[in-house]
Structure 1
């Protein structure tokens, strides 16, 4: 094969080679970008086609300009192959799933685990890579760059750079009245342009990692202590369930037409139907909700090296335990004493398939953990966090056992953009039915304990399932649809939780109020009777009920 390629190589000048690569990078792999910019323009018919064509010329000229600056005879092919691979692999998710490659998405990829990554692989993805990665790389292998004198190379580069700038200037000037408002109002469009999106977002992510690395830990809530109410005779347990990718609009508790909450609907719970997330992906929402910073003031850099909710509760005297069936706690539980990963424990492998486990594993792990506590003589208050796999996509069909396949037909593939939309919704709804079962089972387990207990559940973010041609999550918050930001949240108390009756009676008046993940931090502190100067009473969901408790 190598001998055949060597004998049949086509010799090209460096400038022509760079021009061909630039046109490829700007072309077919950016179809979604061209489609969107076409829809946002004010032109119709041939004028719109011309506008899109000029946009292609502009993008090609920009890539050509960059390649002419960077590429030299010996480096041109390796660098071009890297760009082609990068473009082909990421453009599939942009074009087929509507994913925008932002800094947050790069962070999401960097923090995910192998099993979640494998769920993104599918036959259409491999076919796309064949067309946009393998074939172009094969073509590049047949091209050979002509040797030229250094003087001629420099003169050609200077002349071509001037021409590229002139083309870009002419194109921008011709349609400035279109480009200016489009990119001012729709800045997320740049996250759809491959490979610029990966290079820009990747560089931003790496710079951010270096900026935040090795910073000293900032103490927070050092004055935290528990004030035990006179009515509390013994320690209590709060189980905080952090859901994954569940959206409120598919909870029948929140008005969805299909019965996705058959078990919870029979229980005495408080459901809040107007709750929003801090972010549209786990790597943002989870640190944000535990940080004590409201979304509008959230500083990811500060949150990465400042103590949060779990540190404060542990300092106040609670035993804090994190039980994980996801890809970790995103730094929020780094300093707690008990971290349990049941998917790595041979005792729980009945829930797992090739390292990926269903959420029933959390119930088994919680059951075993509670057995280690002497409930009749419990000495220490407990905060236990369960981190679900929940409704994580795109392989929704893997998230629940066969007995929870309540809605059919289903989408039994991770190639969700090609599924019948109703089948896709059915599959997603089945994940919600299973989450309903997990939450009801948690409540049932807590009911069996002789101590006062409570469960608080909220999802980290929502999910798009084809609405407006968007799939999955991670869309920049400013433009994210409600499917990705409107999340479920509910609260349950055992009969022997002393303030139960008054809390239910009071909060039932506020179940339709606008809440968010901003309320988690102070509400948990309030529930656990933890006092500290960093507690913000205005954001505590229970603050309006304090006078009644």
Structure 2
């Protein structure tokens, strides 16, 4: 693809009169070193459109190795493979030219062009390192990443990979001289280039429809690997989509909420702890048949482990608000407004509710209820024992927990307490930070965030140690609940927000779009424990619950199961989605 010849004369005239042109070297033409000849060629006066075409070619060749690797993985005969590489390469080139044509105005666009290169280089690093794709959910998750999580993702390898792409482009962008041109001339030339890119893309698509249509239909993720188009498109979608929502109002769902008949003559109020796990896989829980005993503490505490639970999303930002929503997965994803959630309903019933976070926030779920960060208010000794900087092991949430509950309104505590603990859990890629030294039973560990560099056995070890830490935390939480049994009727429900890929199919971490994400990112553990007081209070049948441990459940069940267990009546409660409804009243 070339820029319109109509610019040639203008470029030549502008070259002669450009005041910013450096003095020519003493030897022209072929004279001078190779570096000098390259520098003279780079620093020639060019129009903005010439610059973005060259820049698009550069990005197409240097930042699309993940796409090429995935096409190679799909395989096929050369007669099939090479045309798809050419076709997607043309789509990527045309899309980049079209996007950058919107910036082809003056030399003051240079910082913006450099920013695009940096974004493309960073995106390529993470796509290569963790086999993620740059869809809107991944970008939204990145925007929600706090400094601690971001630090875990940084490495010297990242700096090297990004520098190899950015530094040559930065030098060329700095050295090239931009030909000045009037606004109207820029406008029609940019429009012409945009139209030309669109025409070439359409012609390529029509000519190669037979090869590309089935490829893209069966491998939807490929469209989110076209760099930098995918990153820029997804970032734009995340930023602009909220601006075009039909309404920003909050829809209330708490009307008609009340406490059920079990509260009328209760001896003790209920104390229900909901633990929101992080990045835990069901198939790595010893309770669920995993070959390794990663859950010895839970196994000692008479818990029930549900083995067929699927998440609402594949990342925290998608799953956590969805699992606390009354809308269910499909309703939540298609909503036009924001709605109150489970925590609002529990609070409206008169119960004392509290959200304790050892993660990067509650994603809006706790916006209207009492909440706190587990890191706040810690004494120096606790920070030294359980924390590394501003990241702490989950056991820190048990510190000062009695005082946190005592600070809730007494009239609400007298009715009952619902406490949500949001874990750090097995958050990657720095899994080695997620377990205490004394719990690192599986060695040697992968001790880097460059997971692809670790042996598979080391990766399994470090991840399983993080699961063992969750097991230890849940065991301690149950022990703490037992100490409350004279004052409360205690119970616990643990469920992870999503799973994790550990190298299967070349994938790492999580966040792959749900429709084609592997089951490892969606199959999550769910564990319950009921004290004697709660079992008697709600007349729970142990044998009935044990018979349902292999029943298919999803995050959609959480909202209704919690309301049913807490005996909170509300119009949004659906008994059919209450996982324990059939087992109450049978004890």
TM-score by length of 2: 0.86
Residue 530 in structure 1 maps to residue 530 in structure 2: no
> Measured at CA, do residues 21 and 310 of structure 1 come closer, stay the same or move farther in structure 2, by a change above 3 Å?
same
Cα deviation 1:469-513 (Å, max 9, x = unaligned): 111111111111111100000110112221577332211110011
Residue 88 in structure 1 maps to residue 121 in structure 2: yes
> Measured at CA, do residues 237 and 164 of structure 1 come closer, stay the same or move farther in structure 2, by a change above 3 Å?
closer
Point out 4+ residue stretches in structure 1 off by more than 6 angstroms. Answer: 148-156
Unaligned segments of structure 1, at least 5 residues: none
Tell me the equivalent position of 1:520: 558
Residue 460 in structure 1 maps to residue 497 in structure 2: yes
Q: Which moved more, 1:364-373 or 1:254-263?
A: 364-373
Tell me the equivalent position of 2:260: 227
Alignment of 1:281-360 (within 5 A): 281-299=315-333, 301=335, 305-336=338-369, 338-347=370-379, 348-350=382-384, 351-360=386-395
Q: Could you tell me how far apart the structure 2 residues matched to 1:105 and 1:164 are?
A: 28
Query: Does the CA contact (< 8 Å) of 1:280 and 1:474 recur in 2?
Result: yes
Cα deviation 1:5-58 (Å, max 9, x = unaligned): 9676611432432221011222221111123235547x5125523431343234
> Measured at CA, do residues 79 and 494 of structure 1 come closer, stay the same or move farther in structure 2, by a change above 3 Å?
same
Query: Does the CA contact (< 8 Å) of 1:29 and 1:132 recur in 2?
Result: yes
User: What is the aligned residue count?
Assistant: 541
> Measured at CA, do residues 75 and 268 of structure 1 come closer, stay the same or move farther in structure 2, by a change above 3 Å?
same
Q: Which moved more, 1:24-33 or 1:428-437?
A: 24-33
Query: Deviation of residue 231 (structure 1)?
Result: 7.1
Query: Does the CA contact (< 8 Å) of 1:494 and 1:500 recur in 2?
Result: no
Query: Deviation of residue 367 (structure 1)?
Result: 4.4
Query: Does the CA contact (< 8 Å) of 1:71 and 1:79 recur in 2?
Result: no
Q: Which moved more, 1:425-434 or 1:80-89?
A: 80-89
Tell me the equivalent position of 1:362: 397
Q: Could you tell me how far apart the structure 1 residues matched to 2:374 and 2:87 are?
A: 55
> Measured at CA, do residues 378 and 196 of structure 1 come closer, stay the same or move farther in structure 2, by a change above 3 Å?
closer
SS at match of 1:344: coil
Q: Could you tell me how far apart the structure 1 residues matched to 2:454 and 2:403 are?
A: 40
Alignment of 1:456-495 (within 5 A): 456-495=493-532
Query: Deviation of residue 151 (structure 1)?
Result: 9.1
Say which one has the larger Rg.
Answer: 2
Tell me the equivalent position of 2:234: 201
Query: Deviation of residue 538 (structure 1)?
Result: 0.3
Query: Does the CA contact (< 8 Å) of 1:12 and 1:144 recur in 2?
Result: yes
Alignment of 1:44-443 (within 5 A): 44-45=77-78, 48-68=81-101, 70-147=103-180, 164-165=197-198, 167-211=200-244, 215-229=248-262, 232-299=266-333, 301=335, 305-336=338-369, 338-347=370-379, 348-350=382-384, 351-370=386-405, 379-443=414-478
Q: Could you tell me how far apart the structure 2 residues matched to 1:225 and 1:326 are?
A: 31
Query: Does the CA contact (< 8 Å) of 2:352 and 2:408 recur in 1?
Result: no
Query: Deviation of residue 536 (structure 1)?
Result: 0.3
> Measured at CA, do residues 456 and 150 of structure 1 come closer, stay the same or move farther in structure 2, by a change above 3 Å?
closer
Tell me the equivalent position of 1:16: 50
Query: Does the CA contact (< 8 Å) of 2:351 and 2:413 recur in 1?
Result: no
Q: Could you tell me how far apart the structure 2 residues matched to 1:268 and 1:322 are?
A: 26
Q: Could you tell me how far apart the structure 2 residues matched to 1:398 and 1:224 are?
A: 42
> Measured at CA, do residues 165 and 447 of structure 1 come closer, stay the same or move farther in structure 2, by a change above 3 Å?
closer
Unaligned segments of structure 2, at least 5 residues: 1-20, 24-38
Q: Could you tell me how far apart the structure 2 residues matched to 1:406 and 1:384 are?
A: 31
> Measured at CA, do residues 234 and 150 of structure 1 come closer, stay the same or move farther in structure 2, by a change above 3 Å?
closer
Query: Deviation of residue 213 (structure 1)?
Result: 9.6
SS at match of 2:44: strand
> Measured at CA, do residues 320 and 151 of structure 1 come closer, stay the same or move farther in structure 2, by a change above 3 Å?
closer
Q: Could you tell me how far apart the structure 1 residues matched to 2:509 and 2:200 are?
A: 38
TM-score by length of 1: 0.92
> Measured at CA, do residues 47 and 548 of structure 1 come closer, stay the same or move farther in structure 2, by a change above 3 Å?
closer
